[in-house]
Amino acid sequence: MQSRASLCDEEFAKRVKDQLLPPALNQLTPQQVGLSDTEVVDLFESQLMSRHLDLQSRELAKNKQSFYTIGSSGHEGNATVGKAFRFNDMAFLHYRSAALMIQRSKQLPGQTPLYDMLLSFVASSDDPMSGGRHKVLGSKTLFIPPQTSTIASHLPKAVGAAYSIPLAKQFNIDTPLADDGVILCNFGDASANHSTAQGAINTAAWVSYQHIPLPLVFLCEDNGIGISTSTPNHWIEANFSQRPGLKYFKCNGLDLLDSWQTVNAAQRWAREYRQPVFLHMKTVRLFGHAGSDTEIAYRDRQTIEAEEANDPILHSARILLSHDILTANQIISLYQQVKQRVARIAVQAITRPKLTSIEQVKAAVAPIRPAQLSPDLVTEQKREQLFGSEIVAMTKPQNMARLINWTLADLMAQQPNIFIAGEDVCTKGGVYGVTKSLHKKFGKKRLINTLLDEQSIIGLGIGAAHNGFLPIIEIQFLAYVHNAEDQIRGEAATLPFFSNGQFSNPMVLRIAGLGYQKGFGGHFHNDNALAVFRDIPGVVIACPSNGKDAVEMLRASVNFAQEQQRVVIFIEPIALYMTKDLHEEGDGLWSHHYQSPRQSQPIAVGEIAVHGSGKHLAIISYANGFFLSSQAAKILEQQHDIQLTLIDLRWLAPFDESALMAAIDGCDHVLVVDECRETGSFSEQLLSVIYRDKSLEQQVGKVCGEDCFVPLAGAATFGMPSKDSIVDAALTLINKEHNHD
């Protein structure tokens, strides 16, 4: 049975020749909207290129030579967007944007969009964007980071990128995006309903409502259907046309003249007034959602045929004919020329190499980048001016919270591209006061109080990182990340992978978390689970147990994020923020002096800490677990004469397996203490690594949190390791061997 795509392809010439074309949608002329005849033909050519890429991809798919057939058919009117915006206006595009990208590429000599896209379709390792990892629309030279988003999850970072443009000017720092640049972000009408889109658009309006510059255009390409679910009539206009802080434009994407006039006006508004725009472009969706989608199963034939008769390239043919720009034969000839050109290029593309090993695939997860020179240290005189009376306090041991605060201040003084953003981070200093007084040192532009929306908060960091910033984003509580985990997994961490290392999102995500809090209860504030981060390839996870390590690990995190362009998750154990003592009140054993950058004793990413050299028992832990293990160690050593080695992992990813195995080598027993819930905890990976050594003769045990949510009040710690449970587990482990003997 002939497909609808093939049928429309065959009927195009007949429709043009017999002038069976859709009626005019308006009385506009090319001259009225500022287009020359040549420019109209040029736009039409881009539309045809996009159409024939779709058709060719479906043909290739029949022979299993193309692997992704969600096309742009019906959306070719977005070619006008590719013409109206500058090629260096960063664009976050959805998957129906081929015509837009083709037209945009015409702004730069030497671009080969047809070949590049076909290489992507056939998953060739020569694909200049993803290296064969995925079909994406992206280009480093055209300022188009690749997207795989189908649910508008790229909107928050578009807001962040737009926010960063005027911010860079205020900071007086050089960044990749132009001072008068505009950010473009497009998506479909169905995706507009997703919470991520709603949050991002709300954030943009919230920012604009406060008269904060935000040069951004949201382009909603409304084809009236999401896979098989229709969008209610006029829903997009009703939902977005009256939003405060958001300028609304509407055009018919089937008509090149109307589209060009409106799109150009929208980008001018955003560029001139530095305000966000919602550009509503009406389109149609042709040939189903994707090549594998049998549209007739959920749409009647009459509706399908009506959409096909409303084909945007048929509308463009009518414009060309009615304004005497091209004859019918010339239009048909151009259509056939483009078709043949795409087919010839496809023949070349399918012969290009593919990825052949997992090593090739993984090479872009966390590419190793050249070492960079560290920023110059701030002079001691400037530091004294910065810290003032706090210099005296630095001569005395302090808790972790204050040490992190000073570390952040030194980092911000040293690197002008750093800003801190999150809920209440400015005047209040966050829930626990960790960022308190930083706004007095650096101003409110570098301490950004955000609205309450974790997706938008993380998106701010991702987008600003595209523009040369190194954001330090604070999430108030660990459990709040679950509202926005896809921003880390699906947007930030995947970017190097889908761009073959060409794009990245360097940022540090500071997250207050883990259990053992005495002042807060409930699972949102007392959450002992880190599994959400551990399965994200390429993400670095830091988790200090004490203030001294926190200082050096935070410095290492910022340096690593900057140099290696990586996403670093920095977990700050809330229960240890204010902890000063270890064994008894006033002993001060968990307080530390602040080491200035010049006194720094660096801790490398992945470096573990080994305390002691006892061979009876090695205890492996991190964060609160290491603190409790240190308490237990005193009892085990003094009361039971057990010689110990204590290992603080410090970093949960990357995980230095060889260093750990060397540290426990020769120990009779090994006890893993993991404060997180047993299922999905880091202990599972630790035990796997330890047991992988077939020659291992050690007795191994573990103490973990229970598989339970954290309750309120005094019951909050019942399900987590304690000093006593660690002592009991250690004695049981050793006694088991004694009993066996």
- Spatial CB neighbours of 731, under 8 Å, sequence gap ≥ 6: 636, 640
The mean pLDDT value of the chain amounts to 94
Tally the C-alpha atoms within 13 A of residue 729's C-alpha that lie toward its C-beta.
25
Residue 477: C-alpha distances to residues 177, 423, 432, 455 (Å): 33, 11, 11, 14
pLDDT tens for 114-168 read: 999 999 999 999 999 999 998 889 999 999 999 866 689 999 999 999 999 999 9
Q: Is a pLDDT exceeding 50 seen at residue 489? A: yes
* 666 token code pair: 């020769």
Q: Is residue 445 within 8 Å of residue 419, measured between CB atoms?
A: yes
pLDDT tens for 604-648 read: 999 999 999 999 999 999 999 999 999 999 999 999 999 999 999
For the beta carbon of residue 440, count every other beta carbon within 10 angstroms.
Answer: 12
Nearest to 532 by CA among 600, 501, 486: 486
- Residue 686: pLDDT band with limits 50, 70, 90: very high
- 130 alpha-carbon distance from chain centroid: 16
* 101 token code pair: 């990208």
645, 651, 656, 659: CA torsion to nearest 10 = -20
Instruction: Give the β-pairing of 507-513 and 540-542.
Output: unpaired
Length of the chain: 741
SS3 content of the chain, % helix, strand, coil (to 5): 45, 15, 40
Question: What whole-number distance in Å separates Cα of residue 486 and Cα of residue 149?
Answer: 10
CA angle at 718 for the pair 717 and 724, rounded to the nearest 5° = 90
pLDDT tens for 12-29 read: 999 999 999 999 999 999
Q: Is residue 367 within 8 Å of residue 496, measured between CB atoms?
A: yes
Q: How confident is the model over 577-592, as a mean pLDDT?
A: 96
Nearest to 627 by CA among 660, 591, 664: 591
Name the maximum alpha-carbon separation found in the chain.
Answer: 99
pLDDT tens for 199-253 read: 999 999 999 999 999 999 999 999 999 989 999 999 999 999 999 999 999 999 9
- 510 - beta bridge partners? 474, 570
From its phi and psi, is residue 693 left (phi > 0), alpha (psi between -120 and 50) or beta?
beta
Q: Is a pLDDT exceeding 50 seen at residue 738? A: no
Q: What's the confidence (pLDDT) of residue 69? A: 72
Q: What's the confidence (pLDDT) of residue 737? A: 46
pLDDT tens for 281-312 read: 999 999 888 877 888 889 999 998 899 999 99
Q: What's the confidence (pLDDT) of residue 740? A: 36
Question: What whole-number distance in Å separates Cα of residue 458 and Cα of residue 448?
Answer: 13
pLDDT tens for 157-212 read: 999 999 999 999 999 899 999 999 999 999 999 999 999 999 999 999 999 999 99
Q: What's the confidence (pLDDT) of residue 446? A: 96
- The crossing angle, in degrees rounded to 10, of helices 113-121 and 98-105 is 140
From its phi and psi, is residue 142 left (phi > 0), alpha (psi between -120 and 50) or beta?
alpha
Q: Is a pLDDT exceeding 60 seen at residue 739? A: no
The arrangement of strands across the sheet holding 644-648 comes to: 609-611, 644-648, 617-621, 669-677, 699-705
Q: What's the confidence (pLDDT) of residue 699? A: 87
The one-letter amino acid at 448: I
The domains of the chain, with CATH numbers, are 4-362 (3.40.50.970), 380-599 (3.40.50.970), 609-740 (3.40.50.920)
Nearest to 183 by CA among 60, 291, 279, 89: 89
Q: What's the confidence (pLDDT) of residue 151? A: 80
Nearest to 407 by CA among 489, 467, 472: 472
Residue 228: C-alpha distances to residues 183, 191, 232, 307 (Å): 31, 13, 13, 15
pLDDT tens for 705-723 read: 998 988 888 888 889 999 9
Q: What's the confidence (pLDDT) of residue 521? A: 61
Q: What's the confidence (pLDDT) of residue 526? A: 79
- Residue 520: pLDDT band with limits 50, 70, 90: low
- Spatial CB neighbours of 638, under 8 Å, sequence gap ≥ 6: none
Percent of the chain with pLDDT over 70: 97
Which burial class, exposed, middle or buried, applies to 638 when counting CB atoms under 10 A from its CB (0-12, 13-18, 19+)?
Answer: exposed
- Spatial CB neighbours of 367, under 8 Å, sequence gap ≥ 6: 496, 501
Residue 561: strand, helix, or coil: helix
